[in-house]
């Protein structure tokens, strides 16, 4: 099983996270941020990842530290669970509608992390969640996972729908990219021989 357990403690957050890439979509999420709980629950469900996240953070300040640090921990978990990346499909993209919102994501499990794109939201907040934190989350995730991540918001007027579409699209792209390629299951998917 491709699994990882990450514990990350700073003066701002205390995070315990477990991940199985070959799960059934089971999620146990308690970030201290209601909207982020919702996003990570559907991320697990649509990616068929088993994910547990517990975070105690300084949300009395705001949600930034918890959101970014959970992105870091989730990225570290993906990197650890993938190991040498032998046999993975490596690339994937998904365009997902969420009512009026339409989101495209594309990933390359390249070992070279980076988030490219913008996630424009008409509203500054969804619940208590600052919508600008979505880009911080995905930047932290991509950098620490070693995954090149592109996100494009092709349409959308409702900030909740835009962000939900982003999490669903990325989870579906990751689900395909980290799956084992039955035609190439014993090889590293790179002409360099490593990722």
Asked if residue 191 has pLDDT above 90, the reply is no
Q: Where are the domains of the chain?
A: 3-177
pLDDT per residue as tens digits for the range 129-145: 999 999 999 999 999 99
The pLDDT score that the predictor gives to residue 193 is 80
**Predicted TM-score of the model (pTM):** 0.97
Of 3.40.50.300, 3.30.230.40, 3.40.50.720, 1.10.3430.10, which CATH number belongs to 3-177?
A: 3.30.230.40
CA distance 175 to 4: 16
End-to-end CA distance of the chain: give it in Å, rounded: 20
Q: Walk across the sheet containing 114-117 and list its strands.
A: 91-98, 101-108, 148-155, 114-117
Which stretch of DSSP H or E encloses residue 145? helix 133-145
pLDDT per residue as tens digits for the range 74-106: 999 999 999 999 999 999 999 999 999 999 999
pLDDT per residue as tens digits for the range 20-34: 999 999 999 999 999
Q: Is 40 exposed, middle or buried (0-12, 13-18, 19+ CB in 10 A)?
A: buried
Q: Which one, of 64, 61, 38, lies nearest residue 53 by Cα?
A: 38
pLDDT per residue as tens digits for the range 106-127: 999 999 999 999 999 999 999 9
């Amino acid at each position: 099983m491709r699994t990882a357990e990450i514990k990350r403690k700073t003066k701002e957050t205390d995070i315990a996270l477990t991940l199985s890439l070959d799960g059934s979509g089971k999620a146990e999420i308690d970030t201290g941020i209601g909207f982020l709980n919702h996003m990570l629950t559907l991320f697990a469900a649509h990616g068929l990842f088993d994910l547990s996240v517990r975070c105690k953070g300084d949300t009395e300040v705001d949600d930034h530290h918890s959101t970014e640090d959970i992105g870091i921990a989730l990225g570290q978990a993906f990197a650890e669970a993938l190991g040498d990346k032998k046999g993975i499909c490596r690339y994937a993209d998904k365009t997902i509608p969420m009512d009026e919102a339409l989101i495209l994501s594309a990933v390359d499990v390249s070992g070279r992390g980076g988030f490219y794109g913008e996630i424009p939201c008409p509203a500054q907040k969804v619940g208590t969640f600052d919508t600008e934190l979505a880009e911080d989350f995905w930047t932290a995730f991509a950098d620490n996972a070693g995954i090149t991540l592109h996100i494009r918001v092709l349409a959308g007027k409702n900030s909740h729908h835009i962000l939900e579409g982003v999490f669903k699209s990325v989870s579906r792209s990751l689900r395909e990219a980290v799956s084992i390629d039955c035609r190439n299951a014993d090889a590293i998917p790179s002409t360099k021989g490593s990722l």
